[in-house]
Amino acid sequence: MSAESGLATFRGAGGLWEGYPVQQVATPEAWENDYKLVLKFYNWRRQQARVAQPNIAHKALVQLEERYLVDIITQNVDDLHERAGSTRVLHLHGELMKARSTIDPSHVVDLDGEDIHPGDNCPRGGQLRPHIVWFGEDVPNIIPAMEIVAQADIVLVIGTSMQVYPAASLVQAAVSARTIYAINPDMPDVLTSDSFVCIEKTACEALPDLVDSLL
- Contact criterion met (CB below 8 Å) for 186 and 192: no
> Which positions are catalytic?
93
All structural domains of the chain with their residue ranges: 3-100+137-214
**Top-tier CATH class for 3-100+137-214:** alpha beta
pLDDT, tens digit, 9 for 90 and up, residues 158-189? 988 787 788 889 999 999 999 999 999 988 88
Q: Is 95 exposed, middle or buried (0-12, 13-18, 19+ CB in 10 A)?
A: buried
Confidence at residue 111, expressed as pLDDT on a 0 to 100 scale: 96
Confidence at residue 189, expressed as pLDDT on a 0 to 100 scale: 84
pLDDT, tens digit, 9 for 90 and up, residues 32-70? 999 999 999 999 999 999 999 999 999 999 999 999 999
pTM: 0.91
Q: Is 204 exposed, middle or buried (0-12, 13-18, 19+ CB in 10 A)?
A: middle
Strand order in the sheet with 154-158: 154-158, 179-183, 197-199
Distance between CA atoms of 108 and 99, rounded to whole angstroms? 6
- Residue 12 pLDDT exceeds 70: no
Distance between CA atoms of 174 and 109, rounded to whole angstroms? 33
Distance between CA atoms of 102 and 49, rounded to whole angstroms? 23
The length of the chain in residues reads 215
Confidence at residue 194, expressed as pLDDT on a 0 to 100 scale: 82
Q: State the pLDDT confidence band at 155, using cuts at 50, 70 and 90.
A: very high
